[in-house]
Amino acid sequence: MYYLGIDVGSVSTDLVVMDGGRRILSELYLKTRGNPIEAVKEGLRRLGKEYETSDITGAGVTGSGRTLAAAVAGADVVKNEITAHGVAAAAYDPEIRTIIEIGGQDSKIILLNDGLITDFAMNTVCAAGTGSFLDRQAERLGMEIGELGDYSLRATNPVRIAGRCAVFAESDIIHKQQLGCSVEDIVAGMSKALVRNYLSNVAKGKEIRQKVCFQGGVASNIGIRRALEEALGCEILVPEYHKVMGAFGAAILAQEFMEREKKQTRFKGFEAGHEDIRTETFECADCSNHCEVVILRSGGRQIGCFSDRCGKYQTKTAGV
């Protein structure tokens, strides 16, 4: 009995297959590249080489593109990323009380008590505290993003970088380069700036209690992890599957739902990765909302609909 979890974000699309004992058997971390439909399809095609459709007992989706993923792959559970990340962390270690999650385009903090989410906050306004900022600066500095952590650890005198705004931070980094500061000291200062931004913005007013879990793609950066440990004065846990914790949580939620409801899964199968799925967009003029409606079609059938506030088009059956 295997369970599929899919997490569709703006930067990455993650898929996991876990067994009934919640052991992750397969994981995929794919770049969304502005095309979430193709990213989900690619993930299904890859997993289809390892598993049969009949192996999957349930499927769950999460992330900003969760409704789209549900339409493409078929899902038994559709949940927001706060819930998915909270469930995954509680399954990893029931003693976790604080989740720090920094992704490509947003960052969040989730507070837990005995596995239950008690509070959370998100930042989606500025890229200064997210992975996209690090990606951009790594490119500017002529290195791979995976190298940033090692450079940060070699710093001898980290410079102070303005971290509240991505534009100002980049200007500050350029200024420090022109002053002759070493790349190592600049990268370390950048890591500390990101942490300051996170703690003063996303985590503002939140009581950060141990154990603290660091999730998301940025958790791979040892420099950010060390900067967090210095700022918080405690050890930071980084799960082995930190990049795909959202997908892991979605798979767990699917397992819980299927065991509770005992229904046949709605998963369409790995063959969905080969379907010709197209979108149609039009503006509905039936009322003053003027919704920009997006219809998802496969083989002439409507398999999904988004952005209609009244639900008029979502209620139409596939093929109508």
The pLDDT of residue 315: 57
State the sign of the Cα–Cα–Cα–Cα dihedral 42, 13, 256, 70: negative
pLDDT digits 0-9 by tens, 92-132: 999 999 999 987 778 899 999 998 999 999 875 666 567 77
| Whole-number average pLDDT of the chain | 88
Q: What integer is the mean pLDDT of 239-249?
A: 95
* Residues 8 and 40 sit within 8 Å (Cβ to Cβ): yes
Q: What integer is the mean pLDDT of 284-313?
A: 79
Share of the chain above pLDDT 90, in %: 54
Q: What angle do CA 204, 210, 216 make, to 5 degrees?
A: 70
pLDDT digits 0-9 by tens, 195-242: 888 888 889 899 999 999 999 888 988 999 999 999 999 999 999 999
Confidence label for 163 from pLDDT (cuts 50, 70 and 90):
low
Amino acid identity of residue 20, one-letter, is: G
Distance from the Cα of residue 302 to its chain's centroid: 27
Look up the pTM and report it: 0.87
Q: Check residue 305 and report its DSSP letter.
A: E
Q: Please report the domains of the chain, with CATH numbers, ordered by start residue.
A: 2-86+246-274 (3.30.420.40), 93-240 (3.30.420.40), 276-320 (no CATH)
Count of beta carbons in the 10 Å neighbourhood of residue 188: 25
How far is Cα 243 from Cα 249, in angstroms, rounded to an integer?
12
The pLDDT of residue 128: 59
Q: What integer is the mean pLDDT of 134-158?
A: 85
